[in-house]
């Protein structure tokens, strides 16, 4: 009988195989969750395995970054709860808030999540993760704010678990909030608890509100120190383009109407900064410093101009005999290997190659100390009657976490600035690395670039999004223009749309602004006999003083 039964079995198997080939099963989409070992219900187990969750950002979603995010790191099966080889990727946009709905109340004992770091690819640990819980998803209680235990500049591929105990408190919702500088990769989100555990009597603090009320950096705020509108003044190279005279500063200090009469105050602050190409040696740094103090140029030219315009401004009720000045600290790039001698018998290297990260960091810090001490001493000795030095500027547009001890270097530069009773300024690019943590590194005044004007593929929505980021983080906002404003109506219209977007975002007169105008572009617009070109100067003035009223974009 066994051979017959086996034969029948083989015949049935063959028929099934043929049937499956002719009628294949329908495909099913599913999200595989890791299998949780059986655990007694009166013991803690991972109650997040069957949970749902949402992810949001304080910032308005930027479609550009969102598309890169989803394409580069598609959500793996199981999402954030997965412990497989694939990671969930989050790109820029300030931060992420993950809200986990456990589906029912549990007595919770702990929560954790894993992160990846690989600095050479811009993948960084978050500086911290906030853990909160709630019974109803509305009122939140703070469990812990867990800081990273690993410095951001460590090389190689690293993983770190951010975890916190929860003192046996009943909740249905768990929230995790973490900053996102460039890329943050996360997985293996776990929440341990049980419905049968006895809750404790522990009480957690109610989650506090934000440390500051949302809003852009206001000229009236204490940290703004009287700054409303700052012009970026590039000097020290490029011939006449980088040499500022009293006639160049005149229309930048006082607004001149069509008949060349002073009719208002233009900029109240001037940020002096170098062209970067010549600042790779101590000689480049010293030459730039010397150019700042050249008679009848740069600082001296500005001082003369303010003095000359004082009576004209006073005649229209503007009694401001001084303007604010901010001086840039040249950036000691970690790639420089032959900076030159500085209190040593050999040329300094800022690279860690061949000398280690600590020596490289010390050399970079020594260069910064030398420059700050030297430039401040020379400014004091100059006795400019009409210039008020209010701060120093960090001349790098993002935080280079791949450079060892970069954050320490920024913090030390901030300390040196503050010891001299000055503010520390920074103008990072849109969503730059370090943006969300900038204030904790010592920056007092941060003014955000939108990079809209210089990126033709972007729409005015980028300026709106940048204004929203500035609103969320108490930042100022930069206005940007390029050489095209002198020759192209299309370029001018693009600049006007930038102003419209900022105006529609309530980032006009109540916001600290910096204006990037290349090499004297706004000066040339002010002095132009072409009404279309001069109108750039007029519209900029109206915007800076809060009289810009156009809310309609040009060409859509």
For the record, the structure tokens of 359 come out as 């020596």
What's the mean pLDDT in 355-366? 93
For the record, the structure tokens of 216 come out as 């852009």
* pLDDT over 80 (residue 343): no
Does 11 or 226 have the greater pLDDT score? Answer: 226
For the record, the structure tokens of 63 come out as 């479609």
Domain-wise residue ranges, the chain: 45-194, 229-544
DSSP 348: B
Task: Give the orientation angle of helix 298-314 with respect to helix 282-292, to 10 degrees.
Answer: 30
pLDDT tens per residue across span 271-329:
999 997 668 999 999 999 999 999 999 999 999 999 999 999 999 998 888 999 999 99
At the topology level, CATH places domain 229-544 in TIM Barrel (3.20.20)
> The pTM is what?
0.83
Enclosing H/E stretch for 367: helix 357-382
pLDDT tens per residue across span 124-168:
899 899 999 999 999 999 999 999 998 766 778 999 999 999 999
**CA pair distance 495, 8, nearest whole angstrom:** 82
DSSP 94: S
* pLDDT over 50 (residue 14): no
C-beta separation of 336 from 280 below 8 A? yes
pLDDT tens per residue across span 428-445:
999 888 898 899 899 999
Q: What mean pLDDT is reported for the chain?
A: 88
Enclosing H/E stretch for 165: strand 158-179
Q: Which residues lie closer than 8 Å to 451 by C-beta, 6 or more apart?
A: 429, 430, 458, 462, 480
Q: How confident is the model at residue 214 (pLDDT cuts 50, 70, 90)?
A: low
Q: Which residues lie closer than 8 Å to 393 by C-beta, 6 or more apart?
A: 271, 273, 326, 327, 328, 329, 424, 425, 426, 427
**How many CB atoms sit inside 10 A of residue 418's CB?**
14
Q: How confident is the model at residue 210 (pLDDT cuts 50, 70, 90)?
A: low
**CA pair distance 48, 192, nearest whole angstrom:** 8
Per-residue pLDDT, 217: 85
Q: How confident is the model at residue 402 (pLDDT cuts 50, 70, 90)?
A: confident
For the record, the structure tokens of 26 come out as 């329908």
CATH number belonging to the domain at 45-194, selected among 2.60.40.10, 2.60.40.1480, 3.40.50.300, 2.60.120.260 = 2.60.120.260
pLDDT tens per residue across span 477-509:
999 999 999 999 999 999 999 999 999 999 988
For the record, the structure tokens of 172 come out as 């249905």
SS3 390: strand
Per-residue pLDDT, 423: 97
* pLDDT over 50 (residue 2): no
């Amino acid at each position: 009988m066994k051979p017959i039964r086996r034969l029948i079995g083989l015949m049935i198997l063959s028929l099934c195989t043929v049937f499956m080939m002719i009628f294949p099963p329908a495909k099913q989409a599913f999200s595989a969750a890791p299998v949780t070992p059986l655990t007694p219900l009166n013991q803690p187990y991972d109650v997040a395995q069957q949970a749902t969750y949402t992810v949001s950002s304080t910032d308005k979603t930027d479609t550009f970054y969102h598309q890169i995010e989803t394409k580069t790191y598609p959500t793996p099966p199981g999402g954030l709860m997965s412990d497989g080889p694939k990671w969930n990727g989050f790109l820029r946009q300030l931060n992420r808030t993950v809200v986990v709905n456990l589906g029912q109340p549990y007595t919770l004992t702990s929560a954790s999540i894993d992160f990846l770091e690989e600095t050479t690819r811009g993948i960084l640990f978050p500086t911290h993760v906030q853990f909160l819980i709630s019974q109803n998803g509305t009122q939140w209680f703070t469990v812990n704010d867990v800081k990273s235990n690993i410095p951001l500049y460590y090389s190689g591929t690293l993983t770190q678990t951010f975890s916190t105990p929860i003192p046996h408190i009943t909740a249905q919702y768990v929230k995790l909030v973490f900053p996102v500088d460039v890329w943050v990769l996360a997985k293996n989100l776990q929440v341990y608890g049980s419905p049968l555990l006895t809750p404790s009597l522990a009480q957690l603090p109610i989650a506090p509100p934000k440390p500051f009320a949302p809003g852009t950096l206001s000229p009236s705020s204490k940290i703004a120190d009287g700054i409303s509108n700052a012009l970026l003044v590039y000097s020290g190279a490029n011939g006449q383009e980088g040499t500022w005279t009293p006639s160049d500063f005149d229309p930048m200090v006082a607004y001149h109407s069509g008949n060349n009469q002073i009719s208002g105050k233009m900029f109240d602050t001037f940020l002096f900064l170098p062209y970067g190409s010549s600042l790779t040696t101590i000689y480049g740094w010293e030459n730039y410093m010397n150019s700042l103090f050249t008679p009848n140029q740069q600082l001296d030219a500005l001082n003369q101009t303010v003095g000359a315009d004082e009576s004209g401004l006073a005649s229209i009720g503007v009694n401001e005999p001084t303007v604010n000045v901010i001086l840039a600290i040249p950036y000691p790039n970690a790639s420089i290997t032959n900076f030159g001698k500085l209190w040593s018998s050999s040329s300094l290297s800022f690279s860690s190659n061949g000398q280690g990260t600590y020596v490289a960091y010390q050399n970079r810090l020594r260069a910064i100390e030398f420059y700050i001490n030297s430039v401040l001493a020379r400014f004091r000795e100059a006795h400019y009657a009409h210039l008020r030095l209010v701060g120093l500027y960090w001349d790098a547009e993002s935080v280079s976490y791949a450079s060892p001890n970069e954050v320490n270097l920024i913090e030390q530069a901030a300390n040196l600035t503050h010891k001299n009773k000055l503010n520390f300024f920074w103008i990072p690019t849109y969503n730059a690395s370090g943006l969300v943590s900038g204030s904790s590194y010592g920056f007092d005044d941060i003014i955000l670039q939108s990079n809209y004007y210089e990126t033709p593929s972007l729409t005015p929505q980028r300026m709106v999004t940048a204004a929203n980021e500035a609103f969320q983080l108490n930042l100022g906002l930069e206005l940007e223009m390029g050489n095209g404003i002198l020759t192209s109506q299309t370029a001018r219209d693009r600049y006007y749309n930038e102003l419209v977007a900022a105006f529609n975002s309530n980032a006009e007169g109540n916001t600290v602004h910096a204006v990037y105008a290349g090499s004297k572009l706004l000066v040339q617009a002010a002095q132009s006999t072409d009404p279309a070109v001069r109108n750039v100067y007029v519209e900029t003035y109206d915007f800076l003083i809060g009289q810009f009223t156009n809310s309609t974009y040009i060409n859509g």
